[in-house]
Structure 1
Amino acid sequence: MDVDEILTGLYSEAGRQDPYPWYAALHRHGPVSAVPARAEHSTVSAVAVGYDLVDQVLRDPGWYKGMPPGWQEQEILRTFLTSMMFVNPPDHTRMRAVFARTFTPRRLSALEPVIVRVVDAMLDRMADAGAGGAEVDFVADFAYPVPALVMAEFIGLPEADLAWYRQRVDWIDEYMDVAGKTPERLARANRAAEELRDYYRDLIAQRRRRPGEDLISGLVEALDGGGVELTEDELISNLIVLFNASFVTTVYMFSNGLPLLLAHPDTVAALPGDDALARGCVDEVLRMASPVHFLARSAPRDTELAGVPVARDENVLLLIGGANRDPARFPDPDRFDPRRDGPPSLAFGVGLHFCLGSAVSRLEGRLALPRLFARFPGLAVTQEPTYSGSLFLRGIDKLFVATGS
């Protein structure tokens, strides 16, 4: 099978449901493969699946994020491309410095009791919903509300707004997928971005009048105190992207991880009370079932990647989900092993654009998983999971379980 056939299979509905056989096929071609110019997928000149090569490109600040043509005309693209997740240095450096000043260890440690409180409340909800052997949607009753409520409290969003907010997150995520660039999805994503910008403007005005301990209050204080190189519009773009990225990836960390964990009952039984094992389980879930499956970078100059020529400004597709199962770096890569030695997964990226919210996501997983299995040692999946159908953000959207209580 040639590279174009593999990419065609990967981008198909079946490939988005289960991309791992296609990643394995790409590994057999080497760490990076040229994409023929005639191919349907010729918007990229090469596709990289090797862990070391993907890590190398992500760490090299010269490889940049290209701007799609006409991006200024679309509200969703203007929002993305004026946030630190998508801009290049020096703007990226300037923006990230502002958030690093407020994304402090003190704020992170203050989240621990918040996470425990939210997790316990959602476990109570699962127990009520699953009474008498009734099926429970693990995503609706746990995987979604835990990170949504935690991030809402951390950032400073009212809990009552979360249902409204989720619809707009879904519209944006639909557009982000490889198959999402339809006029209808673009229109919904533009509407979502416009409405979220108005929403954050109101919240910022409220925090100016009545500051609190949340992230928005800290950022507004830094902005209004002077000496901060960030406009209010840039602040809003970053808040939209930060919440989406930190929240959706954690939802999928939980929902993708549950079937993996339940397939290893000895691990599940040992999780309560074993913090080192909990950390290992979070890391291994992120490696084997990464929520984000690909990124793209543009070449800063004419170069070669493992012998594959890439011209200046051409795009390379970096398959995070495939790199995390590189047999050259992870022996027996399809085996779940929470005590595995080896390099860290690339689930949150590396280098300049390493995910700022990764510490929050890992903390949620480390605290939540032992409490989940301590409360429901007989937890079991009762139906086949329903995946999102997206390859960019790949995750389980519906997962019915019996709590065994």
Structure 2
Amino acid sequence: MDGAAIIEQLMTTEVRTDPYPLYARARELGPVAPAGDGMFVVTGYAAVNKVLRTPAFGVATAEMMAGLAPEYAVHSSLALLGRSILQRNAPDQPRVRSLIASVFTARRVAALRPAVEAAIDRLLDGMAEQGADGSPVDFMDAFAFRLPVGVICELLGVPEQDRYRFRGLASDLTIALEIIQDLDELAAADEAADELAGYFTELAAERLARPQDDLVTDLARIAAADDERLSARELLANLVLLLVAGFETTTNLLGNGLALLFRHPEAAAGLRSGAITPAGFTDEVLRFDSPVQATGRVALEPGLAVEGLPIPPGSGLTLLIGSANHDPDRYEHPGVFDPTRTDSQPLSFGGGTHFCLGSQLARMEAEVAVPALLDRFPRLAPGGVPTRRDRLVLRGYETLPVTVR
């Protein structure tokens, strides 16, 4: 099996359900391997970490992709995400990122903790009521989605009555972030992009007319005052990105974490007793079953190399974060779920200029939520067969039924 075959196998439902055996086979090719057609697949921890932190390896912008495939430009999901900081390089990416970064400072995240604790208590009350008669409760719907979407929507200024609709829209839009073989697969993503862009167009206009203490108001004012600092199209793209990224990863982190607790009851006991810290548990979930399994980069300059392998300019690199987090050259017994690890630095939030702005917030939500869940429901147990989303890049559960009585 070569690098091209690895990429092809990642497209299959069977592998996406459990990609880790394929990752092990991929690492046998070396930490980075050619994948044909100007592509490389990067599987080793040190190699992925280097690429993420090297500015000369940038993201593939919308303009680059449209040059390779003209039909790329007609898909509104790709165009929308292509104007966000997720898919821009310098100078656009740092210019816009700096406008958003002030919301996610350590002080601002710490100040949110009481509100997060209160939201967790309300959601646990809802789960208790829903499952009081022993009926299964879908943890993904009742808790894992509602907690982070509520937090990010509070920051943005999205009214409470609008929030529940976003789960389906975000699920559809993030198809555009997956490794896909046919652009026709983007029909649902395009519809979601159009609806989300329309929603934030109206909300931004409303906030300009009636300002509030929220991020939509702040960014809309900047865009209205100085188009060169933040254009109207950049405003919409990044509001959509903040919404989707603000809960997708955390939702999957919470779901993957609970599923691992069911498989490892000793970890749940350790969290309850204090032998395992919430931070250590969160780090190990991020490492062992990362909510983000892959990302992409492109070589922007000549003379680049990864682990001694030359990477010509224009080459595309598929970075398998899930593989890097299981690299035996970085972690002892990487296939063992061990929340007591002291040397864990998972690459699940990326690195370098594109490191996830909301990583501290996601960690805080998980570190508060999981112990509260275990304390509230001492007999928390699986309530049926969970279903995984058929995705690779954003790995998580569609449903995760539990019993709480």
TM-score for the superposition, normalised by structure 1: 0.92
Corresponding residue SS for 1:229: coil
Could you tell which deviates more after superposition, 135-144 or 303-312?
Answer: 303-312
Q: CA separation of 1:97/1:4 partners in 2, compared to 1, >3 Å: closer, same or farther?
A: closer
Residue matched to 1:396: 397
How far apart are residue 105 of structure 1 and its match?
A: 4.0
Are 2:58 and 1:64 aligned? yes
Amino acid at match of 2:229: E
Q: CA separation of 1:241/1:275 partners in 2, compared to 1, >3 Å: closer, same or farther?
A: farther
How does 1:69-88 map onto structure 2 within 5 Å?
Answer: 69=66, 70=70, 71-88=72-89
Could you tell which deviates more after superposition, 237-246 or 380-389?
Answer: 380-389
How far apart are residue 228 of structure 1 and its match?
A: 7.4
Residue matched to 2:48: 54
CA deviation profile, 1:156-190 (whole Å, cap 9, x unmatched): 1112112332222121123332247442x323222
How far apart are residue 274 of structure 1 and its match?
A: 4.5
Amino acid at match of 1:154: L
CA deviation profile, 1:11-41 (whole Å, cap 9, x unmatched): 2110011000000111222211112x3xxxx
Q: CA separation of 1:304/1:103 partners in 2, compared to 1, >3 Å: closer, same or farther?
A: closer
How far apart are residue 211 of structure 1 and its match?
A: 2.3
Residue matched to 1:271: 271
Corresponding residue SS for 2:329: coil
Corresponding residue SS for 1:296: strand
Corresponding residue SS for 1:271: helix
Are 2:358 and 1:361 aligned? no
Corresponding residue SS for 1:318: strand
Distance across 2 between alignment mates of 1:123 and 1:17: 29
How far apart are residue 237 of structure 1 and its match?
A: 0.6
Residue matched to 1:233: 233
Amino acid at match of 2:354: H
Corresponding residue SS for 1:131: coil
Distance across 2 between alignment mates of 1:266 and 1:166: 32
Could you tell which deviates more after superposition, 313-322 or 199-208?
Answer: 199-208
Residue matched to 1:197: 197
Corresponding residue SS for 1:346: coil
Q: What runs of 5+ residues in structure 1 fail to find an aligned partner?
A: none
Distance across 1 between alignment mates of 2:245 and 2:238: 10
**Equivalent residue pairs, number:** 397
How does 1:306-385 map onto structure 2 within 5 Å?
Answer: 306-385=307-386
Distance across 2 between alignment mates of 1:228 and 1:7: 39
Q: CA separation of 1:270/1:12 partners in 2, compared to 1, >3 Å: closer, same or farther?
A: same
Does the 8 Å contact 1:269/1:377 carry over to 2?
no
How far apart are residue 227 of structure 1 and its match?
A: 9.8
Could you tell which deviates more after superposition, 251-260 or 123-132?
Answer: 123-132
Does the 8 Å contact 1:252/1:291 carry over to 2?
yes
Does the 8 Å contact 1:59/1:350 carry over to 2?
yes
Residue matched to 2:125: 124
How far apart are residue 226 of structure 1 and its match?
A: 5.4
Amino acid at match of 1:68: M
CA deviation profile, 1:237-287 (whole Å, cap 9, x unmatched): 111112111211111001111121233333323425859700111111111
Residue matched to 2:206: 206
Residue matched to 1:45: 39
Residue matched to 1:96: 97
Distance across 2 between alignment mates of 1:3 and 1:92: 30
Distance across 1 between alignment mates of 2:103 and 2:5: 47
Distance across 2 between alignment mates of 1:130 and 1:271: 23
TM-score for the superposition, normalised by structure 2: 0.92
Residue matched to 2:109: 108
RMSD (CA atoms): 2.1
Q: What runs of 5+ residues in structure 2 fail to find an aligned partner?
A: none
